[in-house]
Amino acid sequence: MKRNRGLLELSLVMLLVACAAWWATRPATTPSLEERQQQWQQNFSQSFEAIRQGDFDKAERHLGEARALAADFPAGDRSLAETYDDMGLLYYKTQRIEDCKRAQASAITALLLAGGPDDPELSLYIDRLAYVSEDVAKLRAMPARFFELKLYPVRGQRLQAEAKKLIETYRARHDEESARIVEVYLASAPTS
């Protein structure tokens, strides 16, 4: 009887050790979309406040985190465009004009993909790029030309979904040139 009890106690101890080891090494759970959107909002707000206060390093850190979060949001979400737009502001304030141009063009590209050519913010984003670039006139006349810059702020399945929807929008308007530009952009997109 004592022998069985000793084996039972040993088995229980081993089970407890195994459970503790599993608990300590279990994979971390992925935050929900809502949690990631809240994290994005927090980083985005903190970055804007840091820009306002002139703490540009802090702003850049928060914008980098916001960009990483927004890149995985569902198709149609505008957070990535808003993040790149604020990155353009940050780079403008720090006189990093080439970075500003790239960020603002990425904001426009992400906005076109998420909201389409009728997005009410599109002309504002283009105006902001015009502050630092003289070659905006042809892009303003045909926003699809932003895709010729080969910037890829959106990737993967989200890019596929948003680009296909945009192509359909252009085709419904009988704008084959814009549809073709987006098709070429999509075909040349990185796979990862």
- pLDDT tens profile 112-123: 999 999 999 999
Q: Is residue 67 within 8 Å of residue 84, measured between CB atoms?
A: yes
Judge whether residue 87 has pLDDT over 80: yes
Domain-embedded: residue 133: yes
Decide if 106 is inside a domain: yes
Domain that includes residue 154, residue range: 76-187
pTM value is 0.78
Across 13-22, 34-43, 128-137, 183-192, least confident range: 13-22
Handedness of CA 110, 137, 164, 149 (dihedral sign): negative
Query: Residue 63 above 70 pLDDT?
Result: yes
Q: Which stretch of 1-10, 24-33, 99-108, 143-152 has the lowest confidence by average pLDDT? A: 1-10
Residue, of 1 and 5, whose pLDDT is higher:
5
Kindly state whether residue 167 falls inside one of the protein's structural domains.
Answer: yes
What percent of the chain clears pLDDT 90, i.e. is strictly above it?
A: 64
Residue 34 lies inside a defined structural domain of this protein:
no
Average pLDDT over residues 72-93: 96
pLDDT above 70: residue 23 = no
pLDDT at 15 over 60: no
CA separation for the pair 30, 40 (Å, rounded): 15
Kindly tell me if the per-residue pLDDT of 82 is higher than 70: yes
- In a domain? residue 9: no
Q: Give pLDDT, residue 34.
A: 96
Number of domains in the chain: 1
Domain annotation covers residue 161:
yes
